[in-house]
Amino acid sequence: MSSFLAPSTHNGTITYGYLVDMVERYFNAVDDYDMDGVLSLFNEDAVFTIQSAHAVHTGRDEGIRQMYVELFENYRRHMRHIHFRHVADPDNNRVASQFTVELTDNDGNEITLTNANFFYLENGKFSRVYVYMSDGANVLN
């Protein structure tokens, strides 16, 4: 299980580096199929929206967990997030990330997407996430 990192300055302020680290820890946990690690980065009442598919998953331990159960099951063969570009706004506790995701579904079909995610943090964890997938497909069900 991944442990939660506290904000990276002595006074508890969220920094640019902290925001980028949170996003990269998140994607590392996703790529490792680490459910506990993924969920440890979210607030209990978080909302995860796949904006390009009009899908909303509410609650870390309910909707978001179920979304990841299905993602991990559907792409057991391969999942990798690479080529990140981040823009972080520590004054407002948010970060935008553009990246490539490579997936192989259980039938061997390979999928490559260029996505953008927008992360909003409260108390050092994700409270809202908005996902835009490059072709409008919703691999997160």
Strand order in the sheet with 94-104: 55-58, 42-50, 125-132, 110-122, 94-104, 78-89
Note if the pTM is more than 0.85. Answer: yes
How many structural domains are present in the chain?
1
25 domain residue, yes or no: yes
What is the spatial distance between Cα 122 and Cα 116, in angstroms, rounded to a whole number?
20
Helix (H, G, I), strand (E, B) or coil at 7: coil
Q: What is the pLDDT of residues 73-116, one digit of tens each?
A: 999 999 999 999 999 999 999 999 999 999 999 999 999 999 99
Report yes or no: 118 and 36 within 8 Å, Cβ to Cβ.
no
CATH number, position 20: 3.10.450.50
Digit-coded pLDDT (tens) for 3-35: 444 455 445 678 999 999 999 999 999 999 999
Domain that holds residue 27: 12-133
Tell me how far CA of residue 105 lies from CA of 13, 70, 72, 115, in angstroms: 40, 12, 10, 18
